[in-house]
Amino acid sequence: MFLFCRKFVTMSLESAKRVASRRAVDDLLVNNTVVGIGSGSTIVYAVERIAEVVKDLSWNIKCVPTSFQAKQLIHKHNLNLTDLETNPELDICFDGADEVDEKLNLIKGGGGCLLQEKIVASCAKTLVIVADYTKDSTYLGEKYKKGIPLEVVPMCYYPVMNKIKKQFGGTVLLRMAQAKAGPVVTDNGNFILDWFVFDDKFDWEKTNQQLQQMPGIVETGLFIDMAARVYFGLVDGLVEKRVKKNWHNRK
């Protein structure tokens, strides 16, 4: 009985990721556009759907990856690969998230790709997040308990850890690799710190700015006021779409 229940939950999560990704692509993908491709398990389904649309309709879609994984996905599905040097302005970016709060603020970087993800997202007119129902929270840290990811320059990871603990409190850990000895090394040659301190009244916008000003921190996994839309795949197979208020007016 235990094994059956565990299998059911896993299948439901994958189904939720898939339905959210396909719905987002069907709603928002447009011909002759440049598209940012995020990283993580959910975005795999979005890329599969983009490839289907491109093949069926002979659309011209150029894709900018946020990681080595994303680049490999683009190659695997025979999509048109480009970069920010060639296409510095993107029409849309599809990406996942580790958690989404009620204001559509995000925690990203659980997979270690936060820097390139944020760069690509910042170049896109519209950042679209696809996620399963477990990522939906009222406030950041309500469900995601693995800390705020911070990408740091290796030479100063320890001083940065101490400064964060003194200024903000909490616990800061150097993320260690699972399949090899030593720390996780990002695509950019940096380390990842995970900062454990969550409070439903925490001012994450202000904190994010303070962290970014700390020498040695390259980027944070706090994506504040960046997402325009979020698609949540639900356990019953439906999709919940949320749109940031006044987004089109601001853009």
251 residues of the chain, pLDDT tens digit each? 444 444 444 448 999 999 999 999 999 999 999 999 999 899 999 999 999 999 999 999 999 999 999 999 999 999 999 999 999 999 999 999 999 999 999 999 999 999 999 999 999 999 999 999 999 999 999 999 999 999 999 999 999 999 999 999 999 999 998 877 899 999 999 999 999 987 766 799 999 999 999 999 999 999 999 999 999 999 999 999 999 987 654 44
Pick the CATH number of 148-219 from 3.20.190.10, 3.40.50.1820, 3.40.50.10440, 3.30.70.260: 3.30.70.260
Which bin fits 99, alpha (ψ -120 to 50), beta or left (φ > 0)?
A: beta
Residues annotated as part of the active site: 117
C-alpha distances (whole Å) from 162 to each of 101, 122, 172, 186 are 28, 29, 8, 21
Q: Please, which residues have CB within 8 angstroms of residue 237's CB and are 6 or more apart in sequence?
A: 15, 16, 19
Residues of the chain with CATH 3.40.50.1360: 2-138+224-238
Pair of tokens at residue 112? 């270690």
Residues of the chain with CATH 3.30.70.260: 148-219
Pick the CATH number of 2-138+224-238 from 3.30.260.10, 1.50.40.10, 3.30.70.1520, 3.40.50.1360: 3.40.50.1360
C-alpha–C-alpha distance, residues 152 and 185, integer Å: 10
C-alpha–C-alpha distance, residues 132 and 10, integer Å: 11
